[in-house]
A and B are shown apart, each in its own frame.
Chain A
Amino acid sequence: MPRLLFGDNTGMALQWRHEPDAALAEAKDQSKPLLIDFSAAPT
């Protein structure tokens, strides 16, 4: 049985990045996918 790729813990802390170019470079360096969330909610 494959594992849940995103885990099953909805309380999992995410380390959000905020600079697109740096995040893209980091994803490439680590050979990891990158999830981009575009939001408009007040921060």
Chain B
Amino acid sequence: LQLNIHDAAQRLAFRRFNALWTPTVIILDPAGNERWRVEGFLPRREFHAQLEMGLARIVAIRKRWADAEPLYAHIVETFGDTHVAAEALYWRGISAYQVTREHATLERMAIELTSRFPQSEWALKASVWV
């Protein structure tokens, strides 16, 4: 579902959701909890990847790891050239680990992150498993 809030007419709603700037896009889960936020303009492809991350986050935060893993894998595969790719790869690995409990899953993810996205903070976060 989509809700548009326009600055000129709905300033209270901006305050309610702590929107500081436009454009801002927030993804809420069905219970109304904020799960993802994009502040500022992004080109279409980057924006699309962010939206996919938001929906994957909703699944992951419910700890539905077996469902989350293919969503993150899809983002890595389809949006591997975007700025969210490293984060998606990280969470793909975490999701897979939560399903299998095999530590080697984390190590493989860390190696792939270091190889593909060596400058990302996600490679740093995964470096503990290398």
Partner-B contacts on A (CB < 8 A):
1-2, 4-6, 10, 14-20, 23-24, 26-28, 30-41, 43
- Distance (Å) between the CB of B67 and the closest chain A CB? 9
Query: Is there contact, CB below 8 Å, between B71 and A2?
Result: yes
A-B interface contact total, Cβ < 8 Å: 121
Interface SS, B side: mixed
- B130 near A: Cβ within 8 Å? no
Sorting the interface of chain B by its residue count into under 10, 10 to 19, 20 to 34 or 35 or more gives 35 or more
A-B contact pairs, 7 of them (CB 8 A): A5-B55, A10-B44, A26-B1, A33-B58, A34-B28, A35-B27, A36-B27
Kindly state the separation between the CA atoms of A8 and B101 in the bound complex, as whole angstroms.
Answer: 34
- Distance (Å) between the CB of B88 and the closest chain A CB? 12
